[in-house]
Amino acid sequence: MIEKASSHSIQLFNSGYKCAESVLISVAQAHHIDSPIIPQIATGFCSGTARTGNICGAVAGAIIAIGLLRGRSSHQQPVEPTYELVQQFIESFEAQFGSTTCLGLTGVHLGTEEGQAAFEEAGMMEKCTQYVGQATRLVMQLVGDDE
Q: Please say whether the dihedral angle defined by the alpha carbons of residues 110, 113, 120 and 21, taken in this order, is positive or negative.
A: positive
Which pLDDT does position 144 carry in this prediction?
85
DSSP string, 98-111: S-SBHHHHHSS-TT
Q: How confident is the model over 127-145, as pLDDT tens digits? A: 999 999 999 999 999 998 6
Q: How confident is the model over 66-112, as pLDDT tens digits? A: 999 999 999 999 999 999 999 999 999 999 999 999 999 999 999 99
pTM of the full structure? 0.95
Q: Which residues contact 90 (CB under 8 A, 6 or more apart)?
A: 59, 100
Q: How confident is the model over 109-129, as pLDDT tens digits? A: 999 999 999 999 999 999 999
pLDDT above 90 (res 62): yes
- Cα–Cα distance between 146 and 66 in angstroms, integer? 16
- Domains of the chain, by residue range, sit at 2-142
**Three-state DSSP class for residue 26:** helix
Which pLDDT does position 146 carry in this prediction?
62
More confident residue, 146 or 86: 86
